[in-house]
Amino acid sequence: MKRIAIDMDEVIADFLFKHLKLYNEKFNEVLSISDLQGTRLWNFRPHSAKEISAYMDDPTFFRDLRVMDDSQEVIRELHKQYEVFIATAAMKHPASFTAKYEWLKEHFPFLSDAHFVFCGDKSIIRADYLIDDSPKNLKRFIGQGILFTAPHNIHETGYVRVNNWKEVRAYFLNEST
């Protein structure tokens, strides 16, 4: 059975929606997702980068992220034909571990705990495919990297790209979007 590793933030969990909301509230701004095409919030507002990154050190930050549209349904379908793992970088913000784990258990209860991988460098992941929004994670990955579209990676080229979970379904299950 082939193995698919799937990133969490900005692939199955809508990290940016909450991150931008908190930023706008704290700094009294009205930035939108379209303002962040090709960049990340901390690069867009470098003078506030430290405070922006600090949100992720809050142990509850990751607990209530929205689920990306169609991800649960498609991953449930993939799970029938592939070995599916969730591979999330938690070492940069170790306080995120419990919230990420609880979020995964709530929204993807059909996946085994043994298929949740909390790591730093994703190049250690041994899988046939890695679906991730970060090109840096795909660069050193040995299998087939698949770039999941997010505002910050919109200008990236050189990767197989999927724009949403319906396209993931089409890629892996040969169904039309």
User: Annotated active-site positions, please?
Assistant: 7, 9
Q: Is 21 buried (19+), middle (13-18) or exposed (0-12) by CB count in 10 A?
A: exposed
Using an 8 Å Cβ cutoff, are 67 and 107 in contact? Answer: yes
Q: Tell me how far apart the alpha carbons of residues 172 and 1 are, in angstroms, rounded to a whole number.
A: 13
Using an 8 Å Cβ cutoff, are 6 and 12 in contact? Answer: yes
Q: Tell me how far apart the alpha carbons of residues 40 and 63 are, in angstroms, rounded to a whole number.
A: 21
Q: Is 68 buried (19+), middle (13-18) or exposed (0-12) by CB count in 10 A?
A: buried
